Amino acid sequence: MGQHTSLYQNHLDAGAKMVDFAGWDMPINYGSQIEEHTQVRTAAGVFDVSHMTVVDVSGEDAKKFLRYLLANDVARLHECGCALYSAMLNHEGGVIDDLIVYRVSFGYRVVVNCATRQKDLTWLSDISQGFSVVIDEKPELAILAVHGPLAIEKLCEILPEHAERIQQLGNFRGFEAGAWFIARTGYTGEKGVELIFPENEAPELWNKLLAAGTKPVGLGARDTLRLEAGMNLYGHDMDETISPLAANMGQTIAWDPPDRDFVGKSALEAAQRLQASGGLPQLVGLVLEQRGVLREGQSVQTDKGEGIITSGSFSPTLKHSIALARIPLDSESCRVDIRGTLTEVRIVKPNFVRFGKKVYE
Amino acid sequence: MSNIPDDLHFASTHEWVRVNEDGTATVGISNHAQDALGDIVFVELPEPGSRINARNEVAVVESVKAASDIYSPMSGEITTVNEVLMDAPETVNSSPYENGWFYKMTLSDDAELDDLMGADAYSDHCEDE
């Protein structure tokens, strides 16, 4: 038996099909992944992502430590509640994990992936040597993501005490309310919030959300939603052997101010030179408008060389297949080996759907 | 597992066969198979007129999760394919034993039915998996 979130029984009650996810028993769907996906694009869905790891970083050197630890710069978080997406690199410039860091009253709150928890905690501990920081994992916190065009409206009905502040939140902004933290962040390409709060309060909120017509959404739809939104999945689209520059994460690297040192910086500068000479591959979007499904691991042939699909699926919103693929820079044409047949696909920017609508050209 | 029709013969690879009154057979995949595959988004069917041997690949099902080969449970000639699945592949999810059939075929060797399982044996087979 795997680990359970505080909503395990609620998932079973909602008809979930449970699967193992990095040692956790998690809902893959509650009947139909496509229906759940569509629910988030057209109305509102709730995801239990309490298996993700919350780590609070406080102490005198918290800011200094995170500025050294992360490729993005927490100095950009000008006030409490601000959020930042960042890669955490190794010294070779590969991605140990991707994460969200929030500035909070006591320092910073970092949310990292579940499957990478142990190595992330070890890395945080290793890099923190010499810094005056307290690194405090918070397994007692639940995380619910409520996303979709009606998500904020429904949440405000259920949480009238927080409604005004939720409505005022800008994207990538959050606020603390006692032991609760509520932020406009997510992994779907729709409006919505993530709530981080004591897990013993999670069943009550879950039940209220469902009673208000918010539908439970499993990890299956979470994956197709994030793929349509062109968001990377750690361990698939990037890992410790991949430079963030080859994973469409260039915008998340804070080169300024130039005097800031961070883990992996010199390796990243070398990767940048390689990129300038065309020697570093790029992560692009692929679109297959005919029948068939692009899948992770399928090999890709472009006019500039070979590549590989890192994430691929059927897009329930677009009704055809889409993928992320790592291919040689400046490739213009592309064919994918689908079960032995080379099939022409289109190369697009890796962002397919936002707010329920197609966004690539 | 409940409600497996008792007029079907099942392969261990989760296809079913129904022998029709005229001696032809209808082939599809089981409820257990569609449930394991998840939402089905494309079905690639064989050409009518083509001949197929038992246990050979005859169709491909693409679901949100994966692509899966479908093996013909019987040898014979494909006579008709279910065109409904071209535009509505989700019919396999909603009606695996009726509207979601894959193809019809003539049978070249009825004795191959002896290699297949009845509803009860198939139900046990799924539980053992």
Residue with tokens 């009518």: B48
What topology does CATH give the domain B9-128? OB fold (Dihydrolipoamide Acetyltransferase, E2P) (2.40.50)
Environment class of residue A62 by beta-carbon count within 10 Å: exposed (0-12), middle (13-18) or buried (19+)?
buried
ipTM over 0.85: yes
- Of A292, A314, A339, nearest to B64 by CB-CB distance is A314
Number of Cβ within a 10 Å radius of residue A144: 23
DSSP letters of A121-178? HHHHHHHTTTS--EEEE-TTEEEEEEESTTHHHHHHHH-TTTHHHHHHPPTTBEEEET
Q: What is the pTM of this model?
A: 0.95
Residue with tokens 């005004």: A164
Enumerate residues 28 to 87 of chain B having a beta carbon within 8 A of any beta carbon in chain A: 38-39, 41-42, 44, 60, 62, 64-67
Tokens, residue A295: 């899948």
> How far apart are alpha carbons A309 and A296 in whole angstroms?
5
Q: How far is B47 from chain A (nearest CA, A)?
A: 16
> How far apart are alpha carbons A174 and A165 in whole angstroms?
9
| Those residues with Cβ within 8 angstroms of residue A187's Cβ, 6 or more apart along the chain or in another chain | A145, A222, A225, A226, A229, A231
Query: Are the C-beta atoms of residues A293 and A314 closer than 8 Å to each other?
Result: yes
Strands of A192-198's sheet in order across: A174-177, A180-183, A192-198, A141-147, A45-48, A215-216
CA A9-A11-A17 angle, to 5 degrees, is 120
Which sign, positive or negative, has the C-alpha torsion B50, B7, B55, A32? positive
DSSP β-bridge partners for residue A143: A196
CA-wise closest residue to A234 among A324, A299, A138, A329: A324
User: Which chain B residues contact residue A316 at CB under 8 A?
Assistant: 64
> pLDDT per residue over B72-95, tens digit each?
999 999 999 999 999 999 999 999
Q: Is pLDDT above 60 for B1?
A: no
> How far apart are alpha carbons B41 and A34 in whole angstroms?
9
Strands of B51-52's sheet in order across: B9-10, B15-19, B25-29, B103-107, B76-81, B51-52
> How far apart are alpha carbons A332 and A181 in whole angstroms?
45
pLDDT for position A310: 98
What is the average pLDDT score of chain A?
97
Whether A313 sits inside 8 A of B60 (CB atoms) is no
| Those residues with Cβ within 8 angstroms of residue B13's Cβ, 6 or more apart along the chain or in another chain | B55, B70, B71, B73
User: Which chain A residues contact residue B41 at CB under 8 A?
Assistant: 34, 293, 314
- Of A34, A291, A339, nearest to B64 by CB-CB distance is A34
> How far apart are alpha carbons A211 and A13 in whole angstroms?
13
- Tell whether B19 lies on the interface with A, counting CB pairs under 8 A: no
Of how many residues is chain B composed? Answer: 129
Tokens, residue B3: 């409600």
How much is the average pLDDT of A251-266? 98
How much is the average pLDDT of A103-128? 98
> How far apart are alpha carbons A39 and A210 in whole angstroms?
13
DSSP A259: T
CA A106-A107-A108 angle, to 5 degrees, is 125
- Of A28, A33, A293, nearest to B67 by CB-CB distance is A293
Whether B41 sits inside 8 A of A224 (CB atoms) is no
DSSP β-bridge partners for residue A3: A24
pLDDT for position B93: 97
pLDDT for position B2: 52
* Confidence label for B68 from pLDDT (cuts 50, 70 and 90): very high
Alpha helix ranges (H) inside B1-129: 31-37, 84-87, 91-94, 119-128
Whether B42 sits inside 8 A of A295 (CB atoms) is no
Whether A33 sits inside 8 A of B39 (CB atoms) is yes
Comparing alpha-carbon positions, the chain B residue that sits nearest to A311 is B65
Number of Cβ within a 10 Å radius of residue B113: 14
Share of chain A above pLDDT 90, in %: 99
Q: Is pLDDT above 70 for A300?
A: yes
Cα–Cα separations (whole angstroms), residue A82 to A109, A163, A184, A229: 11, 19, 10, 22
Cα–Cα separations (whole angstroms), residue A57 to A65, A125, A239, A345, B73: 9, 11, 24, 45, 60
Query: Are the C-beta atoms of residues B5 and B119 closer than 8 Å to each other?
Result: yes
> pLDDT per residue over A135-167, tens digit each?
999 999 999 999 999 999 999 999 999 999 999
User: Which chain B residues contact residue A34 at CB under 8 A?
Assistant: 39, 41, 64, 90
DSSP β-bridge partners for residue A325: A284, A309
Environment class of residue B37 by beta-carbon count within 10 Å: exposed (0-12), middle (13-18) or buried (19+)?
buried
| HSE toward the beta carbon, residue A315, CA cutoff 13 A | 29
Domain ranges of chain B: 9-128
Q: Which of B41, B42, B63 to mutate to test the interface with A (most CBs of A within 10 A)?
A: B41
Enumerate residues 208 to 227 of chain A having a beta carbon within 8 A of any beta carbon in chain B: 220, 224
Q: Which helix (H) or strand (E) holds B60?
A: strand B57-63
pLDDT for position A361: 84
Whether B42 sits inside 8 A of A313 (CB atoms) is no
